[in-house]
Amino acid sequence: MTSASLNSATGPARRTVMAAAGAAGLAVALTACGSDDGSADSSDVSGSGTTQDSNGSGGAAGAGGTALAKTSEIPEGGGKIFKDQGVVVTQPTAGTYKAFSSKCTHQGCAVTSITGGAIVCPCHGSQFSVEDGSVKKGPATQPLASENVTVSGDQITLA
């Protein structure tokens, strides 16, 4: 009598343990899938450019790079402003291309012109060098933020 009731008690108990183990196994499998996806995503991002870009100016454009211009459109010793992308691309010396954010570091106006090797903000007259975005004339005190562009053949692409 005693042993019979013991047996019937271990039966269901064992099943409960196995069911719990099954559920735990499932949870582990799901977790593994989730982290796989996560790492695949982050390697995509780092492969296509900078993490800085994907956080800041919209992931869609960052994914494959945005075709900006032909190299022939960027004047040597000057540059061109791409309003929609918020980017200035310059060619300080022949064959060297640089890119900067078009947002003035003073109070955030968009720069609108490039003259005499300087990127000019219309709001308070700050000027930035086409070579490295550094301040040539205040009131801004910080250089324009750099942007990454790649040049492939004659095509300039925003990374």
Residues that bind ligand FES (CB under 6 A): 104, 106-109, 121, 123-126, 139-140
Min CB(103)–ligand FES separation in Å: 9
The alpha carbon of residue 150 and the mean position of all alpha carbons in its chain are separated, in whole angstroms, by 14
Q: Of the two residues 80 and 106, which places its CB atom closer to ligand FES in the complex? A: 106
Q: Of the two residues 45 and 109, which places its CB atom closer to ligand FES in the complex? A: 109
For 25, the token pair is 């196994």
Q: Of the two residues 123 and 159, which places its CB atom closer to ligand FES in the complex? A: 123
Min CB(143)–ligand FES separation in Å: 13
Min CB(80)–ligand FES separation in Å: 19
The 3 state secondary structure assigned to 22-91 is HHHHHHHHHHHHHHHHHHHHHHHHHHHCCHHHHHHCCHHHHHHCEEEEEHHHCCECCEEEECCCCEEEEE
Query: Are residues 68 and 149 in contact, defined by beta-carbon separation less than 8 angstroms?
Result: yes
Min CB(101)–ligand FES separation in Å: 12
Q: Of the two residues 45 and 123, which places its CB atom closer to ligand FES in the complex? A: 123
Give the H or E element holding residue 147.
strand 146-147
